[in-house]
Amino acid sequence: MGQPAFYSIMSDLIRIVDLEVWAHIGVPNEERAQRQRLLVTLDLHVGDFAEAAKMDDISSTVDYFIVSQHVKAFVAEQSHKLLETMAEKIAADLLETFPIQKLTLEIKKFILPDTSFISVEIKRARNK
């Protein structure tokens, strides 16, 4: 049984919003000495949910729990000066590890006084 003829599927999305991770991050050595709380938001474009929905089976999609645990462990093992570096490495790892077509990744850092947060955001896609 195929999809109804009145629509076509482009890309479905799994969104993980403000995943709390702890990282050694910062330009000065003193800042990197202690882990800092960061929030990571991921928009994961995963093809479509049709098969997973039809079978009601997690193995037919990307398991967001496993992705979130993977990101937490990956970040905990890293030490970087720049959020930009961390974002690039997380994105590359996720695209290599999971069946994700493209992603948007934002990392929020709570370091500047008189601001809620600063953030970096990148968009990356799997090479065809």
Q: Where are the domains of the chain?
A: 13-125
Average pLDDT, integer, range 24-31: 92
Q: Confidence band (pLDDT; 50, 70, 90) for 6?
A: low
Q: Confidence band (pLDDT; 50, 70, 90) for 97?
A: very high
Pairing type for strands 13-25 and 118-125 reads unpaired
Handedness of CA 108, 113, 116, 121 (dihedral sign): negative
CB contact at 8 A, 15 and 45: no
Lowest mean pLDDT among 45-49, 81-85, 120-124: 45-49
Q: What distance, in Å, lies between the first and last C-alpha atoms of the chain?
A: 28
CATH of span 13-125: 3.30.1130.10
Average pLDDT, integer, range 98-122: 96
H/E stretch holding 34 reads none
Q: How far is CA 116 from the centre of its chain?
A: 21
Instruction: Please tell me the distance from the alpha carbon of residue 38 to that of residue 21, in angstroms, as a whole number.
Output: 5
